[in-house]
Structure 1
């Protein structure tokens, strides 16, 4: 029964993570901690984060390959973002060592509530006007519509470092912050932002998971159960992203995340 639940958790995390560029850890980490609090698993916050980052590699590869076929990944921008998110992931992994179970659940719970708020306002945000300075890029979608977006290098590096640090700290991928920032601050087309975010998350997850593996923070048996669902979920999420609006799924995800967050905070305080 536990193995079936883990497969489903991997599938949900992979699908939602790929669909919205979140990475999937925002579902996997709290789910693992909740299963542990119910007595189904024996896992620490550090191992939950390390295992989640390992799973995100498979979600990231699966989703990125699908988005590559759709020609939606901005590789140059992705590598620039990763140049700071990679070191940030290492710092986050180091910070993760200082948490006990209760404090980690409380901090993660409040962070998930913040993510839920970001998801709530995401579609209501409009790109800020740009001064025209910095790097400018042009993208053409499947309908032939042309989009112009751009950014300055320094703000991108600061943002990416913070996102990478949160990824290593909480095992959540960082896409919940990265995608809205790419859309609002840098005027990325939404589908391009999601696809490029998954590419960045893949690279950051590799760095973060290696750091956690070195610290023995990965439960390989749980990972084996989570990986198949994460892999197929990554492909499924990319396919849904291409065909459907994600508004209803975002609504469901917000409700689920709020419930998870409140439970984590309650468990951490008791």
Structure 2
């Protein structure tokens, strides 16, 4: 029965993660904690083992969605590698810190993080674009399928500092970093939403390799439970990436807000109660 639960959770996580650039961990982690720990349907689950399972899953959601986005030429590989360089040491530190968190603390901090991210996206349309980072950084140009041009960019030193911090949170909570980096890419660096999501999923794939190695080293991965999660996450990511190409940018941002708010509120309640 636990294999069925994990398959369904991973399928949904992969689809939603690829759709909005989250990597899927933001769905799999709270869902698995709720079903596996709170309801007791999955044996031997701890926050650390859930995070370990999540980072393994993100290798395959990141890979599947990146393959789809590459075909549509949406991935900014140069930015992805720069962000990866900053996030690597952070993910290792985050995985180490994760060892000391109990379940209530994990849920509370995880929920607060998601609420902050959802709030940022909620007020995004009312904020003036932050042009400083583009003006004082390396500029990039993207032309979408309709011929519309987007100029975006960032100072490399700031991108490295930001992704180091994102890496810590990614290693700590097992959520891939996309849910934290995509808002920054949209608001600060002025990435086109589709490019931000595609590049985020490429980064999710790269960082998940390092993140999973760290959690394997700390003994956080239950390999038996990866059997239903890996194929389900891969299939879900392919579905989500295809849906992304058919939805407009505003719809993607709305979906991201709703997901972060719902999951964040649920995690805070679990942590307090």
Using the size of structure 1 for normalisation, the TM-score is 0.92
Deviation of the 1:236 alpha carbon: 1.0
Equivalent positions of 1:179-258 (< 5 A) are 179-245=182-248, 257-258=260-261
Is 1:33 equivalent to 2:36 in the alignment? Answer: no
Aligned counterparts of 1:266 and 1:216: Cα–Cα separation in 2: 28
Aligned Cα root-mean-square deviation (Å): 2.1
Is 1:93 equivalent to 2:78 in the alignment? Answer: no
SS of 1:176's partner is helix
SS of 1:60's partner is helix
Aligned counterparts of 1:125 and 1:198: Cα–Cα separation in 2: 26
Contact 1:89–1:168 (Cα < 8 Å) also in 2: yes
Which of 82, 85, 93 aligns to 1:83? It is: 85
Aligned counterparts of 1:54 and 1:124: Cα–Cα separation in 2: 37
Q: Structure 1, unaligned stretches of length 5 or more?
A: none
Q: Structure 2, unaligned stretches of length 5 or more?
A: none
Residues 181 and 8 (structure 1 numbering): CA distance in 2 closer, same or farther, change over 3 Å? same
What does the per-residue CA deviation read over 1:134-183, in whole Å, with 9 as the maximum and x for residues that have no partner?
31111122222222111111111111111111110000112122112112
What does the per-residue CA deviation read over 1:75-94, in whole Å, with 9 as the maximum and x for residues that have no partner?
11110011011111111111
Which of 113, 116, 119 aligns to 2:115? It is: 113
Which of 132, 137, 142 aligns to 1:134? It is: 137
Deviation of the 1:126 alpha carbon: 5.2
Which of 174, 180, 200 aligns to 2:177? It is: 174
Contact 1:21–1:175 (Cα < 8 Å) also in 2: yes
Residues 138 and 255 (structure 1 numbering): CA distance in 2 closer, same or farther, change over 3 Å? closer
Deviation of the 1:247 alpha carbon: 5.6
Count of residue correspondences: 270
